[in-house]
Structure 1
Amino acid sequence: MRACPDRTAALALLRKYNSEPFHIQHALTVEGVMRWYAQELGYGGDADFWAAVGLLHDVDFEKWPGEHCQKAPELLSEIGCSEALIHAVCSHGYGICCDVEPVEEMEKVLFAADELTGLIGAAARMRPSKSCRDMEVSSLKKKFKDKKFAAGCSRDVIREGAERLGWTLEELMDKTLQAQSSCEERVNTALEAL
């Protein structure tokens, strides 16, 4: 099991530097998605580590968007995050805002799933149910192909992420949709409590 910060400390750090509900929701979503992936891919013993990376991956984005993934190490050191966790957090910005390459499978999953969770979330908000739990991969693929829809979600990063994992785009979509469905209710409950 890899060392990771206590979740209470991690959440407090996130909230210290992030106040926008959208950013908090994204962090909680990626936390849940990463925990699901850890279990799914056989890293259950490190699920807390994967989840902590997901929770903290954008810790610096709201206040320092121009220094995203560059300010993060300083902030993460406030709660004694390991070098492995800091590397993982920074690696999701590879080729976009930093040169820390995603090497481990967990880092590749974060790189691939981060942008896709945003696309899934945007697509869910358009549905009558406001949920991704009743969304089909075919519906998500249509939204993916519509470049005007959720234009801020980089299709190139999602494609590159699938390639880094050796997965098809459809496989990445299917798994991430399952992952996001698994934590959607918990995230909504947590947001209401904030």
Structure 2
Amino acid sequence: MLTRNSALELLKEHVTSESLIKHCMAVEGSMRAYALLYDEDVDLWGLTGLLHDIDFDKHPEEHPMHARKYLSDLDLPETSLTAIEEHGKLDLKTRDTLISKTLFAVDSLSSFILAYVHVRPDKSFDGIPLKSIKKKFKDKAFARAVNRDLILQGAEDIGVNLDTHMENVIQGIVEWETELNKMGFSLV
């Protein structure tokens, strides 16, 4: 049985960038939050989020098409493996599972929320106001590498409005940061 600790160790074997590991953990928290909302397997969805960028360091130009070879010996279900492969296909209109749509939807927004926390004077996850996130979202100079169109498409794909999607991801990341702190980790 794949545990979170063994999944994190596997991720660290293939990903050397601390910021990418933290991004993966933020996506993990976002996926866990949505799994709760959708009454899905929270641990499985979290592991899918945690491992979604496992091949990025070694294959940035072909990411995520090499992820399956790193994950093939694990007991992840096909739906998780497919979601991981599909999250990097920007023009894909055939995502047909909820886990696949959700992973795509939370990936870029999780990066955006982390970027926001990093510019806060205290780098705190406490009381992240939706109003401030929306203001930064409109500021194209802020976190310019984060594609706003992908965030909008992701929210549409899972059938929620942008404000609700932002609130869900904020809540997921904030709650996961609290849990990570108990394990000796932090997203900042």
Report the TM-score, using the length of structure 2 for normalisation.
0.90
In the TM superposition, residue 38 of structure 1 has moved relative to its aligned partner by 0.8
The equivalent of 2:67 in structure 1 is 72
SS at match of 2:45: helix
The equivalent of 2:34 in structure 1 is 37
Find runs of 4+ consecutive structure 1 residues off by over 6 angstroms: none
In the TM superposition, residue 7 of structure 1 has moved relative to its aligned partner by 2.2
State the AA in 2 paired with 1:16: E
Q: Report sequence identity in percent.
A: 37
In structure 1, runs of 5+ residues without a counterpart are none
The equivalent of 1:139 in structure 2 is 132
In the TM superposition, residue 56 of structure 1 has moved relative to its aligned partner by 0.3
Q: Are 2:95 and 1:102 equivalent residues in the alignment? A: yes
- Which deviations, in whole Å up to 9, do the C-alpha atoms of 1:25-51 show, x marking residues without a partner? 1111111221121112222xx111101
Q: Is the contact made by 1:113 and 1:161 (CA closer than 8 Å) also made in structure 2?
A: yes
Q: Is the contact made by 2:48 and 2:80 (CA closer than 8 Å) also made in structure 1?
A: yes
The equivalent of 2:111 in structure 1 is 118
SS at match of 2:127: coil
Residue in structure 1 matching 2:164, options 171, 180, 185: 171
SS at match of 2:61: helix
In the TM superposition, residue 132 of structure 1 has moved relative to its aligned partner by 3.1
State the AA in 2 paired with 1:92: H
Q: Are 2:143 and 1:150 equivalent residues in the alignment? A: yes
- Which deviations, in whole Å up to 9, do the C-alpha atoms of 1:140-170 show, x marking residues without a partner? 0011111111011110100000111111111
Q: Is the contact made by 2:79 and 2:100 (CA closer than 8 Å) also made in structure 1?
A: no
State the AA in 2 paired with 1:179: G
Report the TM-score, using the length of structure 1 for normalisation.
0.87
In the TM superposition, residue 110 of structure 1 has moved relative to its aligned partner by 1.2
Q: RMSD over aligned Cα, in angstroms?
A: 1.9
In the TM superposition, residue 80 of structure 1 has moved relative to its aligned partner by 4.3
The whole-number CA distance in structure 2 between the counterparts of 1:150 and 1:169 is 18
The equivalent of 1:191 in structure 2 is 185
Residue in structure 2 matching 1:28, options 13, 25, 28: 25
In the TM superposition, residue 95 of structure 1 has moved relative to its aligned partner by 2.2
State the AA in 1 paired with 2:59: W
The equivalent of 2:76 in structure 1 is 81
